[in-house]
């Protein structure tokens, strides 16, 4: 028997990529969400205005280039004027793309389906770029983390089935060894084992713990 703990396979803290005021927090702590769902939003008025300005600059530079190209066909402008006009279009296009990217960063979307573990900000709060906003985890893709004696490597293999008793629920669940970390702790002489629950059990939550019961195979 070895101690076992349930952990979320996917967990992350989502941060704001831009500075601004939080104007949308449609999910609360403990609530679920789907992959791609907007789970936080930042006031985007300033960034949208910058995008409109960038669009206008790009359109103006494009019109200017078209006019100079017509003059170039009549040999009424120098090659350097044509090159400079093309460079202005490229610069305006890059500015337009940067502005559009900032607008897209106003929405914070879920990278996977799961639940909100912790809200680190409140609506109407101003956040800086890089500031943590929301802690999320996948509660349906759980793994079992165990530390087993290194001597068990002689018979413990990926794919081996065993049972784990969860303390909080006082119940046994079927599990299968998924992978073994190829490193032994020299002090404790243990190796880290990751397993998966064999089945769908909505009552299981990250952080629950218990005992993994692994039995060596019987020899011939």
Mean pLDDT by 10 residues, the chain (220 residues): 92 95 94 94 95 96 95 89 95 96 95 94 95 92 92 91 94 94 92 92 92 80
Cβ neighbours around 74 below 10 Å, total: 7
The predicted model scores a pTM of: 0.75
Which of left, alpha, beta for 36 (phi over 0: left; psi -120 to 50: alpha)?
left
* pLDDT at position 75: 86
Residue 1 has a pLDDT of 86
Q: Are 205 and 6 in contact (CB under 8 A)?
A: yes
Would you say how long the chain is, in residues? 220
Q: What is the pLDDT of residue 220?
A: 55
Burial class of residue 31 in the structure, from the number of CB atoms within 10 Å of its CB (0-12 exposed, 13-18 middle, 19+ buried): exposed
What is the per-residue pLDDT for 89?
96
């Amino acid at each position: 028997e070895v101690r076992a703990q349930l952990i979320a396979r996917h967990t992350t803290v989502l941060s704001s990529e831009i500075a601004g005021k939080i104007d949308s927090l449609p999910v609360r702590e403990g609530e679920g969400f789907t992959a791609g769902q907007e789970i936080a939003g930042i006031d985007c008025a300033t960034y949208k205005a910058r995008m409109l300005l960038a669009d206008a600059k790009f359109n103006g530079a494009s019109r200017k280039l078209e006019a100079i190209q017509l003059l170039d066909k009549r040999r009424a402008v120098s090659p350097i004027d044509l090159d400079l006009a093309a460079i202005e279009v490229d610069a305006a296009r890059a500015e337009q793309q940067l502005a559009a990217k900032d607008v897209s960063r106003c929405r914070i979307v879920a990278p996977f389906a799961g639940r909100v573990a912790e809200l680190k900000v409140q609506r109407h709060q101003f956040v800086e770029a890089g500031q943590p906003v929301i802690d999320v985890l996948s509660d349906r893709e759980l793994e079992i983390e165990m530390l087993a004696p290194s001597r068990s490597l002689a018979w413990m293999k990926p794919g081996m089935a065993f049972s784990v008793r969860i303390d909080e629920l006082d119940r046994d669940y079927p599990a299968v060894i998924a992978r073994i970390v190829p490193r032994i702790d020299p002090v404790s002489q243990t190796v880290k084992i990751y397993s998966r629950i064999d089945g769908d059990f909505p009552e299981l939550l990250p952080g629950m713990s218990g005992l993994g019961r692994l039995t060596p195979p019987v020899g011939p």
